[in-house]
Amino acid sequence: MSAKLIDGKAIAEQINQETAAAVQRLKTDHKVTPGLAVVLVGDNPASAAYVGMKDKMCARLGLHSERINLPASTGQGELLAIINDLNFKRSIHGILVQSPLPAQISEDAIFAAIDPTKDVDGFHPLNVGKLALGDLTGFAPCTPAGVHELLIRSGVKIEGAHVVVVGRSRIVGRPVSLILSAKAKNANATVTVCHSRSQNLAGICRSADILVAAIGVTRFVKADMVREGAVVIDVGINRVDGKLVGDVDFDAVKDKASLITPVPGGVGPMTIAMLMHNTVLSAQRRLGVA
Ligand code: NDP
């Protein structure tokens, strides 16, 4: 059996087109332009590249964007004051603080200071708590939300499926498991979360109808960890000899899976698409038209 590819680029583009249309409706019907503020502290080149991609996507889809570049020496109090200003700014519907932050700033303190209704990255404790309760009315983090959309738009039946998530980080693994196990439409999966202390990992993975790999170890998931016909979602982004490689041994696993995401071009493009989607959703919620 050879797997069909899940084309994350095409699915992300479909979502982007829907977002652009929603932006136009907000402009025409309500005279509102959704706005995203992105705060970058320091000059980490990877972070600067991500932030640049977000700016460009805002421009392409018709959103207003504001970039706030701060030096690496910025103190926590200074950053909190900037967040507070953005919380009150009417033209801003989404606030994203690019991580990692310099050591003198607590990420938890910063995430907790963002107005939860503008927390389009989904890291405020209120939004994390809602997700933990199975309440999908807050904001879910963008990469996990992207994994969910990829499954839905690829026609994968999530309800009742056994999903195995390898990885329990707050950015990917844990929120993916919460979204897919929620008592909600397009969810209701039976989810097993694995991590570095899990025993019989290969056996657990083989019992998955849907296997989500969010480990950060190049080609960790081998063919003997995948059941014939399983759906495999590879969240991993690892750089090997200048090339992007996932957490799944793609060439070996593709012959066993029924559907598989490539790296690059799978989950990757979904993260920015969901960020734009969440920003527009925030504007719609403020207007009561979500
Ligand atoms: P983290 O390092 O925060 O978490 C990795 C998780 O994998 C941890 O829960 C860890 O377990 C588990 N793990 C590590 N080694 C093993 C092992 N040998 N066996 C079983 N479990 C293991 O990574 P992230 O969640 O932030 O990212 C995961 C991957 O996804 C990375 O490749 C990252 O680059 C990528 N990523 C991609 C994004 C995208 O847009 N597509 C966005 C964010 C991340 P433990 O908890 O026990 O330490």
Taking CA 270 as the corner, what is the angle to CA 269 and CA 275, rounded to the nearest 5 degrees? 110
CB of 65 shorter than 6 A to ligand 1: no
pLDDT digits (tens, 9 = 90+) for 6-18: 999 999 999 999 9
Query: Active-site residue 98, yes or no?
Result: yes
Cα-to-centroid distance, 81 and ligand 1 (Å): 32
Q: What band does 3 get if pLDDT is binned at 50, 70 and 90? A: confident
* Residue owning the nearest CA to atom 42 of ligand 1: 143
Q: Name residue, tokens 């995948």.
A: 226
Mutate-to-test residue for ligand 1 from 53, 142, 197, 237, highest number of ligand atoms within 8 A of CB: 237
Nearest atom in ligand 1 to the alpha carbon of residue 198 is: 20
Predicted structure pTM score = 0.97
Question: Could you report the per-residue pLDDT of 83-132, keeping only the tens digit for each?
Answer: 999 999 999 999 999 999 999 999 999 999 999 999 999 999 999 999 99
From ligand 1's centre to the CA of 153, what distance in Å?
A: 24
Structure-token pair, residue 192: 């097993």
Residue 23: band (very low, low, confident or very high) from pLDDT cuts 50, 70, 90: very high
What pLDDT is recorded for position 59?
98
Q: Interior CA angle at 136 toward 58 and 128, to 5°?
A: 80
**In Å, what is the CA distance from 37 to each residue of 19, 157, 220?**
17, 36, 36
Question: 1: pLDDT confidence band, cut at 50, 70 and 90?
Answer: low
Question: Has residue 2 got a pLDDT over 80?
Answer: no
Per cent of the chain over pLDDT 70 is 100
Cβ 146 vs Cβ 174: under 8 Å: no
pLDDT in tens, 198-252: 999 999 999 999 999 999 999 999 999 999 999 999 999 999 999 999 999 999 9
CA of 42 to the centre of ligand 1 (A): 24
Say which residues have a Cβ less than 8 Å from residue 170's Cβ, sequence separation at least 6.
123, 128, 141
DSSP label of 221: B
Three-class SS state of 261: coil
Provide, rounded to the nearest whole percent, the portion of the chain with pLDDT above 90: 99
Tokens of 270: 């979904």
Question: What are the tokens at 84?
Answer: 């507070």
**Ligand 1 proximity of 178 Cβ (cutoff 6 Å):** no
Residue 102: cis peptide before it, omega within 30 degrees of 0: no
Q: Whose CA is nearest to atom 16 of ligand 1?
A: 196
Residue 167 CA, ligand 1 centroid: distance in Å = 5
Model pLDDT for residues 149-167, shown as the tens digit of each residue = 999 999 999 999 999 999 9
Amino acid identity of residue 158, one-letter, is: I
Q: Is the CB of 252 under 6 A from ligand 1?
A: no
Residues in the chain: 290
pLDDT attached to residue 236: 98
54 carries an active-site annotation: yes
